[in-house]
Amino acid sequence: MNTHPRKTSTFLAAAAVIALLQPAIGHTQTMENLADKARKLVVPITGKTDDRLEMVATFDHQVTGVTVSQDGRVFVNFPRWSQDVPVSVAEVMKDGSIKPYPNEEWNAWRNARMNEISPKDHFVTVQSVVTDNKGSLWVVDPAAPNSEKTIKDGPKLVQIDLRSNAVKRVYPFTPDVAGPASYLNDVRIASDGAFAYFTDSGSPGGLVVLDLISGKAWRALSDDPSTQFEKEVVIHTDGKPLRRPDGRQPQFNADGIALSKDDRTLYFQALTGKTMYKVSTDDLQKAATDPAAVKAEKFADTEPTDGLWIDDQNRIYLSTMENNGVKVLGPDGKVTPFLEDSRLRWPDTFAQGPDGALYITASHIQDSPWFNEGWTDTSFTLFKFAPPK
């Protein structure tokens, strides 16, 4: 067996540090957590890192969504997938700590107390947070703990006023829009504040349109090939196919979403897929009375990707889990690798700050109990980087 001397010495050094820590840690720390600490120590040397990727904050629980307000406030969310997390939506403070947002009561839901707490006015399983240009934070709650069956009366979109830090309006989704197997994934808000567009990565996959004035919502492209996983596509992480302990491959439907700056075109793709589609938002709005009006059009060949973001130059950023990286889809349809970093395990969601910096979460989905007997890496981190010029 060939052994790289630098890697070997690094692991030995990490082991020595852990050995020194262990007496102080005692029996309260598991060997799994110690191994995680060792990985964090050696990654900067043994893994591929990019100095352009700057750490913003680290968290104790799995993070998916991130958004940045026009005045630079940063918000994140923690889904209740494998853990009954104590906070669903939080503001990231300047020192990296988190504060439940908008308050502790909205974050008071616990899976273990679901019969005691109303899902209508509490966060159940928040998947995404997005700010708009009008001073609101929008919270997507598919209300499906562990991505399983939705909680009755739980699926909703919550609007929070960033000035008063108070909930302004709750948009509940009826079962015909967010059924028992649905999973509302991400949202984009039209710049005029009239409509919201969602991907549903549950079953069946599809898009959801919400009229923010009337509160009426409807599905579009539901169970359409454009919103379903591609059967021939296999997700790879760490150089091998990603599989659950029982051998199943993940089959994620419509996930990533981006809205053009003129609000006229919505881009989306299935996570388990290699095809990005686009659709006219005018057609999506017409689908309220004429579902047949919506026709998805292939936009580009891509690869399995989780988050999408479109910038002022009409470049679409892809978070690519196969290489722990970020790629850029140009207006010419060409995909170009931009950034790769071993700390960016399962790059998830993008957001852009008022200074132009792009923020991205590492949700470590491949390290989760969905694909292992337990967590194998819990270094949940929020990063940021400067976009290409």
What was the pLDDT predicted at 25?
A: 41
Give the DSSP letter of residue 368.
S
Residue type, 182: S
- The predicted structure's pLDDT at residue 33: 52
User: Distance between CA 66 and CA 359 in Å, rounded?
Assistant: 7
**358, 328 contact by CB (below 8 A):** no
Question: Low-confidence residues of the chain, pLDDT below 50?
Answer: 1-29, 32, 36, 38, 40-45
Give the model's pLDDT for residue 147.
83
3-state secondary structure of 352: strand
- Pairing, β 89-92 against β 128-131: unpaired
pLDDT digits (tens, 9 = 90+) for 314-334: 999 999 999 999 999 999 899
Phi-psi region at 293: left, alpha or beta (left = phi > 0; alpha = psi -120 to 50): alpha
- The pLDDT score that the predictor gives to residue 146 is 86
143: left (phi over 0), alpha (psi -120 to 50) or beta: left
Residue 148: per-residue pLDDT: 86
